[in-house]
Chain A
Amino acid sequence: MISLRNVSLVYQNGVRALDNVTLEIGKGDFVFLVGHSGTGKSSLLRLLYHEQLPSNGEITVDGIRVDRLRRSRVPALRRHLGVVFQDFKLLSDKTVWENVAFAMQVTGAHTKDVMRQVPRSLDLVGLAHKSRMYPGELSGGEQQRTAIARALVNNPKILLCDEPTGNLDPSNTTEIMDLLLRINLKGTTVLVASHNQAVVDRMRRRVVRLEDGRIVTDEERGYYYLGLGQGQILSG
């Protein structure tokens, strides 16, 4: 579903964000990208939705060669993807319903599809009863759930999450991760960039660890730190 081969990314200021990264993610996988701030997690995600182009290497997302994609084809790629950010990126002057519907309306979806899909998406994230509220009236967790509903409303095959729990308390964090798991169980490929050790260790999913732009470990059912659970590293 997602393939990176020998991908490097060097910014104009000379900083090497990614260095010869090769990674394969299958359909329906749930993968954590972990590592300290500045190790290239967000850069890798940005490459996948063509916010950034690689300096070298090949990137394929759902059969689309992203590194060779013409600018005019980028919107089509992004309709295959849902993207969730730490800061939610909601429009404060639109209600929950309008924020979610916006993602369909601006891609030219038919009104009847919007009327059908938006309630489904809000049901999935458990916000149907707050559809008329504005983001400012919601908790952080609810705002993130709104952002997830928006990311899912176009039925993407892949969900990219960049530090989705970075602004949330532990209770909301658990809610959001459980939601992402449910979404994954419905068949959506989920890739989560996180430096939240507790979250990663609790979920026990595939963990890809980046350091200085390189993949240093790639474990099935892994922990945040190689082979060690949360309690062990904290006490050790």
Chain B
Amino acid sequence: MDSGKVKFFLGEVLRNFTRNAGMQATAIGTVAMTIVLLGAFIFVHQTLAGLGNDLLNQIEISVYFNGNVTTAQEDALRLALAHDARIADVQFVPKKEGLAELSAQTHGVIDTSLLTDNPLPDKLRVRVRDPQLVPAVADELRTHAGVGNVVFPQTIVARLLAVGGVLRRIGIGVIGLFLVVAGIIISNTIRLTVFARRREISIMQLVGATNMYIRAPFICEGLLDGVFGSLIAVIILVTARYALWPKLMLALPWMQFNGTTVDGPLLVAQLIAAGGAIGVVASWISVGRHLRT
């Protein structure tokens, strides 16, 4: 590798980047603002999604056996569920234990000691890994021999799944919109720098520089705009996360926010990668337009 070539190339990138400092500052600032909004949106979105998933993960399917069920049938179903990859957890609750639970849950309002006979059947308490599969698994369980009734909070699951679906679609749409906006901003800034350097570009073309060679410094410039902008955004977001999160927890004590649902380092990496990628794509497009004309 010719170190002189690398030095020249990096020198050109640095010279161009610092020569248009005002323009670069504008680009970096606007990218930072867009990425802050994008990051904040993703954070809130993931937190809400995490909240919904937490609720869904707590949902249990209660499988009540009928009166004629045999112990062998109960064991067979329990074993089958234990080996089913879709099932996170299965627990056998004998009717005696079920009665004790009922008594505990009703805080003694129902006095089970007055009962001469236990009216409750044996049951299985089942948790499914993917909350979306709850209705399907429940339907399947109803067909098993010895199963009398299968109960789960159907309305809540349906609503949570519907809300989750809407949130996901809105999330994808808004994230896409943010990325496009950031792309347009960087693209316009690069177009301004391309315009400012049109004389230099025309000389490069005149002496036989390839389009790739002409493009490369602008691509690096776009990459730097994107990465610096997203780094600033990440600093703002991380500061805000640690400054505002405890206050939010205090303000909304009834909300069971789980801060760990957002993978912080992953989100930071994603935002920086997104910023860099937008910078590269936007500058590629804007230089390409200039080179075609």
Binding site for B on A (CB under 8 A): 49, 72, 75-79, 83, 89, 91, 93, 102-103, 105-108, 110-112, 114, 150, 154
Q: How far is the CA of A107 from the CA of B200 in the complex (A)?
A: 14
B291 to A: closest C-beta gap in Å: 9
A221 to B: closest C-beta gap in Å: 31
Contact B5 A110 (CB under 8 A): yes
A-B contact pairs, 21 of them (CB 8 A): A72-B211, A78-B206, A78-B208, A89-B202, A89-B206, A91-B199, A91-B200, A93-B19, A102-B203, A103-B203, A105-B5, A106-B204, A106-B207, A106-B209, A107-B210, A108-B5, A108-B213, A110-B4, A110-B5, A111-B4, A150-B207
7 closest A-B pairs (Cβ-Cβ)?
A111-B4, A78-B208, A79-B208, A106-B209, A103-B207, A75-B208, A75-B210
Q: Which residues of B contact A77 (CB under 8 A)?
A: 208
Q: How far is the CA of A40 from the CA of B283 in the complex (A)?
A: 37
**Which residues of chain B (205-221) have a CB below 8 Å from chain A?**
205-211, 213-214
Contact A49 B206 (CB under 8 A): yes
Q: Which residues of A contact B8 (CB under 8 A)?
A: 105, 111
Contact A154 B199 (CB under 8 A): no
B contact patch SS:
helix
Most buried by A among B203, B206, B207, B209: B207
Contact B200 A114 (CB under 8 A): no
Q: How far is the CA of A76 from the CA of B210 in the complex (A)?
A: 8
Partner of A154, one of B5, B200, B207, B213: B207
Q: Which residues of B contact A93 (CB under 8 A)?
A: 19
Q: Which residues of A contact B200 (CB under 8 A)?
A: 91
Chain A: which residue is nearest B7 at the CB level?
A: A111
Chain A: which residue is nearest B210 at the CB level?
A: A75
Q: Which residues of A contact B111 (CB under 8 A)?
A: none
Q: How far is the CA of A230 from the CA of B5 in the complex (A)?
A: 50
Q: How far is the CA of A150 from the CA of B208 in the complex (A)?
A: 12
- How does the 8 Å CB contact mask read for B246-262 relative to A, with 1 for contact and 0 for none? 00000000000000000
Binding site for A on B (CB under 8 A): 2-5, 8, 19, 199-200, 202-211, 213-214
Q: Which residues of A contact B208 (CB under 8 A)?
A: 75-79, 107, 154
Q: Which residues of A contact B4 (CB under 8 A)?
A: 110-112, 114
Contact A110 B207 (CB under 8 A): no
Excluding A93-B19, A103-B207, 4 further A-B contacts by CB distance (< 8 Å) are A49-B206, A78-B207, A110-B2, A112-B4
B11 to A: closest C-beta gap in Å: 10
B268 to A: closest C-beta gap in Å: 37
Q: How far is the CA of A114 from the CA of B3 in the complex (A)?
A: 13
Q: Which residues of B contact A106 (CB under 8 A)?
A: 204, 207, 209, 213-214
Contact A107 B207 (CB under 8 A): yes
Contact B203 A75 (CB under 8 A): no
A87 to B: closest C-beta gap in Å: 10
Contact B207 A89 (CB under 8 A): no
Contact B203 A91 (CB under 8 A): yes
Q: Which residues of A contact B5 (CB under 8 A)?
A: 105, 108, 110-111
